Amino acid sequence: MASGAYRNGVAKGSMKVERSAVAVNPSAKSSSGVKVKPAPSLTSGVRRSTTGLLGGSGKDDASVSGRVRVAVRLRPRNAEEMVADADFADCVELQPELKRLKLRKNNWDSDTFEFDEVLTEFASQKRVYEVVAKPVVESVLDGYNGTVMAYGQTGTGKTFTLGRLGEEDTADRGIMVRSMEDILADVSPESDSVFVSYSQLYMESIQDLLDPTNDNISIVEDPKTGDVSVPGATLVEIRDQQSFVELLRLGEAHRFAANTKLNTESSRSHAILMVHVKRSVRGKEELLSSENGNGSHMVKSFRPPLVRKGKLVVVDLAGSERIDKSGSEGHTLEEAKSINLSLSALGKCINALAENSPHVPVRDSKLTRLLRDSFGGTARTSLVVTIGPSPRHRGETTSTIMFGQRAMKVENMVKIKEEFDYKSLARKLDIQLDKLIAENERQQKTFQDQINRIASDAQNQISEAERNYSDALENERLQYERDYKETIKRLEVQWATNQRKRDDDKLIEPKKECLDMGLGTSSSEQIAELKQSLQKEISLRQAAEEQITTLRGEVVQWRRAEAVANTEVIKLRKKLEDEEKQKVKLEEEITILGSQLLRLSFEADETRRSLDRGDSGKILTGLDSLMSQVRHLQLKDSGNGQKASIAKLFEQVGLQKILSLLESEDAEVRIHAVKVVANLAAEEANQEKIVEAGGLTSLLMLLRGSEDEMIRRVAAGAIANLAMNESNQELIMGEGGISLLSMTAADAEDPQTLRMVAGAIANLCGNDKLQTKLRGEGGIKALLGMVRCGHPDVLAQVARGIANFAKCESRASSQGSKLGRSLLIDDGALPWIVQNANNEASPIRRHIELALCHLAQHEVNAKDMISGGALWELVRISRDCSREDIRTLAHRTLISSPTFQAELRRLRIEC
């Protein structure tokens, strides 16, 4: 083998000194006469981390190169060897200080090999642990995978080195126990965990040493990480050393041990202890942040929590001796083959790795699969090769040494096994982000506030500056104004002085004249006087001007106010006019409705009478029935409530009181009072009382004195009602009622007033005793005067009055009174009678027909009637009148009058 195999510099100082080397450099002589190539800077002594088999490669690097470290341990002679080999020297000679081993070939020749550590038969278990395993354990605690293996011939002390429990003698404790001691001492029970599995590989089958029934466990390889695990094996958490020792003992008890010729205790199985160490690396994180100072605050915060997983694999390999030497028989031969299958596969892999071969036959055996990352993988690996001293086993010892030498050339890429907890990192980051967002918001707010404050300060300062500036400007202006005024004043004074001088000069002459004229007043006095009066004049004029200005202003204001008032007045006037128009309209409507009602009532009454009795004599009292009809309707329409309330009023207030209200100052009150009285007068029972209480007089006074059309109308209506009673009729006449009614008839224009007046007169016309007086006081004339109105209701009342009057005359005539020509004819009623004898309105026509009949009954009227054209009307009535009683009456009248008969004969008219 070439020394050029040292590929990794100083730390890889491993070499094999062969005889050929002697030839190359014969001057370099060893004690045994061989030349030795010095081991490059292999440090001696035991130092943590930087020494030991694993050397001083930077452990904190996530990935470092590392060579498989190999130590050789020599077992002391056992009792048998003491005897058997008593005459022979050991086959090896150790030079531990030089880390060399000499393998004697014969008495004069030997091969020298250099190892990372050479452990003599006197090496304590403690020292073996420290140089072989401790650096690996420390690596595991730092998150690397680590492997410690013992390789050697059966009985050379592999189990002694690795698995000794040291219960009798603490100093005997092997690597497994000591490793666990160190691990447990270093981990923190709260945050870290230690799990252990213990299995054996026997005849290519993995068996759980903690549960032997759990057999043929499969090996699982993580395709991503390449991690190898035996998930089927029992994992036991280790919390204390004692439980671990118990576990090892249990495993040992289960360990299959075959009795072999070489050593009854020896095992032909591979025992595999796996220790899984999981650590959280808080301590390291803190160290990092403290190193970097405050600036690294964020780095720390954003660092995901680290969990370091280290795996320590301790492999107690089966004996490496050749089958033929093991003395195996029967199935144990197969056994030996299987044992060697795994071992020879391991050897092949190591050879391939040592030679940098592109193909490493890892998959050839279960052992190599299990140790895949221990050799040429990502673990720190330490191999201890055990040898015995006996020259009888020289061959085995040689091969063991050669195995170890090859293993020293295997390089591992050591990777730290760190896992990032991204979930909790994300959580942390979220929290951090939220904190930052909140902080940012706060800062923004503060910033905005600051900006606002600065802006408002600036604004204030600007305002202040502006104010100062305008103040200064104003002061400046005032100052200029003052200066200007003073200058003006000075100039004026100057001017006045000049003027005075000039005036004085001018006055010299007149002054002389004045003196000459003997006025006796000094010119200066005069001037002063004049000036004074002038000044007075000026101030007066100024005052006057001011006054004028003020007055003008006032006038303007007044005009404005007036204009406003005028528009208001116009508006109000307009409103008033509208109101009046509305009122007139309503009144007209009421009038029309009233007249329609009267007409209908009258017609109904007449129809009823003619149907009931056919008595023409009583038709003349039309108004009586009309009024009572109206009254009846009114009371009926307004309901019992009004009737009752009026009666109640009558009782409570008293008639006298009501009548006194007729003279009230208030027109409204008068109107209401007269309405109430009119309503009362419609009741026959009240009529006498009203008249007795002076109501008639009051009503007549009202008729005479009032200018209110409505009062006159209602009063006339009331009088008309009262005039239905015979005794009242006399009273009315006695109190000059007819002249008052005549006056009203003459100047009233309202058809309803005229209707009432005409009605009242018509009632009076029906009184036999009052005929002459009535006619004498102008009653008939007043009645006829009202036809000018043309309203059928008025005309009907006029016709009724005429009919009443004619009836009374004919009655008097039939009772034998000596009467002259009818007063109606005297007062010129006949033309109107004839004219309206065939009036379209039946109430008018009926009354006139009756009047004609009554007039015709009095012979003295016949001549006038014939000449007035009344005869023709009588004939028509006697022939065509729809009412039979009137027709008969007309006929009888015509027959009974000789004058009419003669005329009819003359005219050859048959009747």
Q: Is 159 annotated as a binding residue?
A: yes
Quickly tell me which residue has 């028509």 as its tokens: 876
- Binds 143: which of ligand ADP, Mg ion, none (CB < 5-8 Å by kind): none
The site string for ligand ADP over 156-185 (x = CB under 6 A, - otherwise) reads: xxxxx-------------------------
Nearer to Mg ion, 203 or 825 (CB): 203
Residues with Cβ within 8 Å of 183's Cβ and at least 6 positions away in sequence, in order, are: 137, 140, 141, 194, 275, 277, 312
- Binds 810: which of Mg ion, ligand ADP, none (CB < 5-8 Å by kind): none
Q: Is 157 annotated as a binding residue?
A: yes
Q: State which of residues 156, 267, 378, 382 lies at the interface with Mg ion (CB under 5 A).
A: 267
- Binds 160: which of Mg ion, ligand ADP, none (CB < 5-8 Å by kind): ligand ADP
Nearer to Mg ion, 159 or 610 (CB): 159
Instruction: List the beta bridge partners of residue 274.
Output: 197, 313
Say which DSSP state 191 is in.
T
CA atoms within 13 A on the CB side of 432: 14
Residues with Cβ within 8 Å of 790's Cβ and at least 6 positions away in sequence, in order, are: none
| 804 lines the binding site for Mg ion (CB under 5 A) | no
- Binds 405: which of Mg ion, ligand ADP, none (CB < 5-8 Å by kind): none
Q: How far apart are CA 442 and CA 250, in angstroms?
A: 65
User: Minimum Å distance from CB 154 to ligand ADP?
Assistant: 4
Nearer to ligand ADP, 77 or 887 (CB): 77
Cα distances (angstroms) measured from residue 63 to each of 380, 408, 417:
11, 19, 10
- Binds 767: which of ligand ADP, Mg ion, none (CB < 5-8 Å by kind): none
User: Minimum Å distance from CB 229 to ligand ADP?
Assistant: 26
Q: Is the dihedral of CA 334, 336, 337, 343 positive or negative?
A: positive
Residue nearest to ligand ADP as judged by C-beta position: 157
Nearer to ligand ADP, 160 or 832 (CB): 160
Phi, psi of 688 (to 5 degrees): -60, -45
Nearer to ligand ADP, 320 or 686 (CB): 320
Range 62-81, binding ligand ADP (CB under 6 A): 75-76, 78
Q: Report the DSSP pairing between strands 306-316 and 270-280.
A: antiparallel
What is the total count of residues that contact Mg ion (CB under 5 A)?
A: 3
On whether the CB atoms of residues 151 and 317 are closer than 8 A, the answer is yes
Nearer to Mg ion, 159 or 763 (CB): 159
Q: Report the DSSP pairing between strands 100-104 and 110-114.
A: antiparallel
Q: Report the amino acid identity of residue 138.
A: E
Q: State which of residues 147, 154, 752, 771 lies at the interface with ligand ADP (CB under 6 A).
A: 154
Nearer to ligand ADP, 13 or 157 (CB): 157
The encoded tokens of residue 227 equal: 């991690």
User: Minimum Å distance from CB 150 to Mg ion?
Assistant: 8
Nearer to ligand ADP, 75 or 417 (CB): 75
Question: Which DSSP string do the residues of 263-320 spell out, in sequence order?
Answer: -TT---SEEEEEEEEEEE-HHHHHHHHHHH-GGGHHHHHHSPPEEEEEEEEEEEPPP-
Quickly tell me which residue has 């003052």 as its tokens: 482
Residue 905, exposed/middle/buried by CB under 10 A (0-12, 13-18, 19+)? Answer: exposed
User: Minimum Å distance from CB 50 to ligand ADP?
Assistant: 27
The site string for Mg ion over 109-148 (x = CB under 5 A, - otherwise) reads: ----------------------------------------
Q: Is 614 annotated as a binding residue?
A: no
Q: Is 225 annotated as a binding residue?
A: no
User: Minimum Å distance from CB 350 to ligand ADP?
Assistant: 19
Range 228-267, binding ligand ADP (CB under 6 A): 263, 265-266
3-state secondary structure 91-152: CEEEEHHHCEEEEECCCCCEEEEECCEEECCCCCHHHHHHHHHHHHHHHHHCCEEEEEEEEE
The site string for ligand ADP over 626-665 (x = CB under 6 A, - otherwise) reads: ----------------------------------------
The encoded tokens of residue 470 equal: 């305008």
Range 432-471, binding ligand ADP (CB under 6 A): none
Q: Could you tell me how far CA 769 lies from the centroid of its own chain?
A: 99
The encoded tokens of residue 524 equal: 């200066």
Nearer to ligand ADP, 144 or 160 (CB): 160
Q: Is 494 annotated as a binding residue?
A: no
Name the strand (E) or helix (H) holding 582. helix 523-612
Look at residues 204, 205, 253 and name the one whose alpha carbon lies nearest to residue 233: 205
User: Minimum Å distance from CB 359 to Mg ion?
Assistant: 32
User: Minimum Å distance from CB 388 to ligand ADP?
Assistant: 8
User: Minimum Å distance from CB 90 to Mg ion?
Assistant: 21
Range 152-211, binding Mg ion (CB under 5 A): 158-159
Cα distances (angstroms) measured from residue 197 to each of 176, 251, 271, 494, 633:
12, 10, 11, 130, 128
Q: How far apart are CA 474 and CA 748, in angstroms?
A: 84
Nearer to Mg ion, 260 or 616 (CB): 260
User: Minimum Å distance from CB 396 to ligand ADP?
Assistant: 11
Nearer to Mg ion, 158 or 670 (CB): 158
Q: Is 156 annotated as a binding residue?
A: yes
Range 302-361, binding ligand ADP (CB under 6 A): 319
Q: How far apart are CA 681 and CA 658, in angstroms?
A: 12
The site string for ligand ADP over 371-400 (x = CB under 6 A, - otherwise) reads: ---------------x--------------
- Binds 75: which of Mg ion, ligand ADP, none (CB < 5-8 Å by kind): ligand ADP
Nearer to ligand ADP, 263 or 725 (CB): 263
User: Minimum Å distance from CB 97 to ligand ADP?
Assistant: 19
User: Minimum Å distance from CB 239 to ligand ADP?
Assistant: 28
Question: Which DSSP string do the residues of 758-813 spell out, in sequence order?
Answer: HHHHHHHHT-GGGHHHHHHTTHHHHHHHGGGG--HHHHHHHHHHHHHHHHHHHHHH
| 320 lines the binding site for Mg ion (CB under 5 A) | no
- Binds 822: which of ligand ADP, Mg ion, none (CB < 5-8 Å by kind): none
Nearer to Mg ion, 151 or 832 (CB): 151
Instruction: List the beta bridge partners of residue 73.
Output: 119, 386
Q: Is 542 annotated as a binding residue?
A: no
Say which DSSP state 65 is in.
E
Q: Where does this chain bind ligand ADP (CB under 6 A)?
A: 75-76, 78, 152, 154-160, 263, 265-266, 319, 386
Residues tagged in the binding site annotation for ATP = 152-159
Residues tagged in the binding site annotation = 152-159
Q: Where does this chain bind Mg ion (CB under 5 A)?
A: 158-159, 267
